[in-house]
Structure 1
Amino acid sequence: MSYEMIALLMFASMMLLLATGQRVFAAIGFVASAAALLLYGPGAIELPFNQVFKLFNWYAMLTLPMFIYMGYILAEAGIAEDLYKMLHVWFGRFTGGLAVGTIFLMVIISAMNGLSVAGMAIGATIALPEMIRRGYDKVLISGVVQGGSSLGILIPPSVVLVLYGMIARQPVSKLWFAGVIPGLLMATLFIIYIVIRARLNPKLAPTVSDEELNMPFREKLALARAGIIPFAIFFFMTGLFVFGYTSLVESSAVGATAATIAAIAKGRFDWKLIRNTSMQTLSVSCMFMWLILAALAFGAVFDGLGAVKAVENLFIRQWDLSPWTVIIMMQLSFIVMGMFLDDTAMLVIVAPLYIPLVKVLDLGFDNQLIWYGVLYTITCQIAYITPPFGYNLFLMRSLAPKEITLIDIYRSIWPFATIMALTIALVMIFPELALWLPEHMNVKG
């Protein structure tokens, strides 16, 4: 049997196991281990163990539980809720102001957590009921929360970019900086869309009455003080990192410590909070570690077969496709897979093939793997909200008030998915959007 057929059989076996409902890391790890044993004999039993040590030697791995813990403790302690109340006062007088404030909230939560789940939970349970009560259109605000929460996997500290960096062997700090400008650009486009819709049809997003916003100065001061805490944590954490005082891992420890101190200062640090936060942090961190381990093992076997060289020869030499055509095909395949799989599953499945291929393509600029990490992450954002099986669609339905139906949720996502696709196009046309900042920032690793 040729190496190409073996690689195709591995990929088909993996997809078959995933179709049966097996856990992603189990399916991929089983195929990798079985293929290694069949191809290389009993000595290949060491392959998974070698990948474990490779994973544990990856120092940036320590950032995962730190940032996940930081985001969860801020959410569990109610600090994110205080922040939304402050944004409600600031933006309530403007047409569409609460929706715009929700986008700001999502950007800040993204900068504290790195996952879309936390932003979705906070937006659906805090922002949605408030906007519905004030007469906001259900379809508009459903899209706002879904689109805004997806920013968590692009704006630093993005856990998905940490995962990509580990698999692609790229500096996580550069990937984070690469995501800043595209992430803020996307958030800006979301806000522009909301403002235009609200101006064209004010009934979609009415302003909040003066009676609700008028409050004693002492209350406004207390509200501002409570809302400033997340800003202070974020700027303290990233400031030390950007100016070179702390490394990436040290910065994550600073953020986790600062979030704990904030919860203590708010008087909300108790045994229940510790237990819930620890369980959630452990669950998400272990999931990512198993996925990375499975991807490393699968990639070692897959690349050892020469599968990447075979695909490169097929696309570039036999089919004579241009490098940009190959990139577009890869992006389209991600979007199709995103209708059925989550972001980590997509990356783990195709990383052994796509990442080496991107590395050898001649796109005309340096740091192609850093740039592609941003493209992949934005595509994951589209996958999160794309029917029929977008993860955020069902999470939104489980968290949203009963007034919002699944049909409302499906209708709401298309303008935001279009904006995400536009952002991908802009990053492809202007690679500097993703590469300028990491090339000009000098930070500790």
Structure 2
Amino acid sequence: MSYELTAILMFAGMMGLLLTGQRVFGAIGFIAVVFTLLLWGTGGSEIAFSAAMKLMKWYALLTLPLFIYMGYMLSESGIADDLYKMFHVWFGPVRGGLAIGTIALMVVISAMNGLSVAGMAIGATIALPELLRRGYDKVMVTGVIQAGSSLGILVPPSVVLVLYAMIARQPVGQLWLAGVFPGLLMAGLFILYIAVRCWLQPKLGPALPAEERAMPLSEKLKLLSAGILPFMIFFLMTGLFVMGVTSLVESSAIGAVSATAAAAIRGRLTLKVIHSTVRNTLSVSCMFMWIILAALCFGAVFDGLGAVKAIEGFFIGELGLSPWEILILMQLSYLIMGMFLDDTAMLVIVAPLYVPLVKLLGFDLIWYGVLYTITCQIAYMTPPFGYNLFLMRAMAPPEVSLRDIYRSIIPFVAVMILALIIVMAFPQIALWLPQHIYIR
């Protein structure tokens, strides 16, 4: 059997297992082990052992459970609820103000968690019922929640960028810094879209009634205190890292400790909160560890088959495409796969093939990591199997139908594609910060 046919069978077998609903790490790891034994016999077991040792020695991976812990602690202790009340009062008098405030909340939650699931849970349980009660259009606000929650995989600390860093062998700190301006750009485009649309169609996002706006300035200023602790945590965690005072792992530890201290200061550090936070942290962290381990094994087998060289020869030699044409085709392939797979599965399947090709074409791998992540955000919201679509369906109230959810994402996907094009056209949006900030 030729190596090309073996690579095709590996890919087809993995896709088949994933489409049956098997866990991502189980499907990928199983195919890797089976083909390792078929190709190299019992000696192939060294690949899995080597991958495990490589994973255990990757010091930056310590940031993963610490940042996840921080996000769940802030969420479970209700500090995120306080933030929404602050945004509710300050943005409420503006048309579409509560939806704009929700996007701002999602940016803050993303900067404290790194997972889109956390933003979706907070948005669907806290913001969505309030927006619907205030007379906001259900289709628009459903899209707002989904689009805002997708920022969690781009704004640092992004867990998806950690996975990309592991596979592409790039510094996590530089990737996180590269995601800052593209994440803010996308959030700004979301806010601009909401503001313009609600200005043109006021019934979609009515302003708060006059009686609710009649709040003394002293009370409004008091509500701002809800944002003091989260922003202090963000400064201690990110600010010290950017200034070169702390390393990446030290920053994640500061974030975890600060979140615990914030919950204690608010009097909410109960046994129930601790138990729920630790349990969720262990569950999510172990899931990602298994996925990374399976990805390393699968990538090692693909490298051994020479599949990377075959892909390079096909695109550059046989098709004769220019570097930019190849890059655009790669992004389109992510969008198509995103209709059926989640971001982790896509990363594991094609990153071992695409990353060497991107490097060969002369593109920056840090910049490409941001492009991949933005494409994942779009894929999260793309029918028929967009991850965020199903999360929203599970969390939304009964009056929000699946048809409403599918309709809601159309304008936001268009905005995200625009953001992707802007970052592709102007790479310095992603690269300026990591190039000008000291990385330890």
For normalisation by structure 1, the TM-score amounts to: 0.97
- 2:226 maps to 226
Q: Which amino acid aligns with 2:389?
A: L
Letter in 2 for 1:112: M
Shift of 1:437: 1.2
Matched to 1:410, the amino acid is: Y
Letter aligned with residue 306 of structure 1: G
Deviation at 1:342, TM superposition (A): 0.9
**2:80 equivalent in structure 1:** 80
Alignment-derived partner of residue 104 in structure 2: 104
Q: In 2, Cα distance between the equivalents of 1:398 and 1:37? A: 41
Match of 2:405 in 1: 409
Q: Counterparts of 1:38 and 1:269 in 2: how far apart (Å)?
A: 52
The amino acid of 1:425's aligned partner reads I
CA distance in 2, matches of 1:72, 1:222: 25
CA distance in structure 2 between the aligned counterparts of 1:398 and 1:21, rounded to whole angstroms? 18
In 2, are the aligned partners of 1:84 and 1:227 still within 8 Å (CA)?
A: no
1:295 and 2:291 equivalent? no
Cα deviation, 1:107-154, whole Å, max 9, x if unaligned, reads 000000001111111111111111111111111111111101100100
Letter matched to residue 405 of structure 2: I
Equivalent-residue separation in structure 1 for 2:214 and 2:67 (angstroms): 37
Residues 179-220 of structure 1: CA deviation (Å, up to 9, x unaligned): 111111111111110011011011111100232233456644
In the alignment, which residue of structure 2 is the partner of 1:394?
Answer: 390
- Mapped contact 2:63–2:248 kept (Cα < 8 A): yes
Distance in 2, matches of 1:273 and 1:3, equals 52
Which residue of the partner structure matches residue 130 of structure 1?
Answer: 130
Distance in 2 between the 1:260 and 1:441 partners? 28
Taking the TM superposition and a 5 Å limit, the aligned residue runs for 1:32-431 are: 32-215=32-215, 219-363=219-363, 368-431=364-427
CA contact (8 A) 1:110 1:152 kept: yes
Following the alignment from structure 2 to structure 1, what is the Cα–Cα distance between the partners of residues 254 and 239? 11
Q: For residues 90 and 379 of structure 1, do their structure 2 counterparts lie closer, same or farther at Cα, with a shift above 3 Å needed?
A: same
Map of 2:30 onto structure 1: 30
Deviations 1:303-328 (A, max 9, x none): 11111101111110111111111111
CA contact under 8 A between 1:83 and 1:228: conserved in structure 2?
no
- 1:286 offset after TM fit, Å? 0.7
Preserved contact between residue 295 and residue 351 of structure 1 (Cα < 8 Å): no
Q: What amino acid is the match of 2:246?
A: T
8 Å Cα contact 2:88/2:98 also seen in 1: yes
One-letter code of the match for 1:40? W
- More off after superposition, 250-259 vs 316-325: 316-325
**Letter of the 1:195 counterpart:** A
CA contact (8 A) 1:67 1:252 kept: yes
User: What is the one-letter code of the residue matched to 1:402?
Assistant: P
| Secondary structure of 1:246 counterpart | coil
1:2 aligns with 2
CA distance in 2, matches of 1:308, 1:409: 39
Alignment partner of 2:362: what SS? coil
> Structure 2: how far apart are the matches of 1:349 and 1:339?
15
Structure 2: stretches of 5+ with no match in the other structure: none
**Partner amino acid for 1:17?**
L
Deviates more, 1:204-213 or 1:91-100: 204-213
Cα displacement (A) at 1:227: 2.5
Q: Is residue 109–residue 152 contact of structure 1 (8 Å, CA) maintained in 2?
A: yes
Distance 2:192 2:226 in 1: 28
2:90–2:220 contact (8 Å) kept in structure 1: no
Deviation at 1:362, TM superposition (A): 3.2
What secondary structure, in the 3-state scheme, does the structure 2 residue paired with 1:297 have? helix
| Mapped partners of 1:16, 1:409: distance in 2 | 28
Q: What is the CA–CA distance in structure 1 between the aligned matches of 2:378 and 2:356, rounded to whole Å? A: 23
Residues of 1 paired with 2:89 and 2:51: CA distance?
Answer: 51
Distance 2:167 2:42 in 1: 26
Counterpart AA for 1:164: Y
How far apart are the structure 2 equivalents of 1:22 and 1:72?
26
Q: What is the alpha-carbon distance in structure 2 between the residues aligned to residue 407 and residue 272 of structure 1? A: 37
Structure 1 residue runs of 4+, over 6 Å off? Answer: none
Q: How many residues align?
A: 440
CA distance in 1, matches of 2:181, 2:225: 28
The alpha carbon displacement at 1:397 in A equals 1.6
Residue pair 1:154, 1:377 contacting (<8 A) in 2 also: yes
Looking at structure 2, the residues matched to 317 and 179 of structure 1 have their Cα atoms a distance apart, in angstroms, of 33
Report Cα offsets for 1:15-65 as digits up to 9, x if no partner.
122222221111111111121111112111121111111001111100010
RMSD of aligned C-alpha atoms? 1.2
Q: Is the 8 A contact 2:334 2:375 kept in 1?
A: yes
Asked whether the 8 Å contact 2:236–2:251 carries over to 1, the reply is no
User: Helix, strand or coil: the match of 1:410?
Assistant: helix
Q: What do residues 88-110 of structure 1 show as CA deviations (whole Å, max 9, x unaligned)?
A: 11111111111111110000000
> Contact conserved, 2:48 with 2:297, CA < 8 A, in 1?
yes
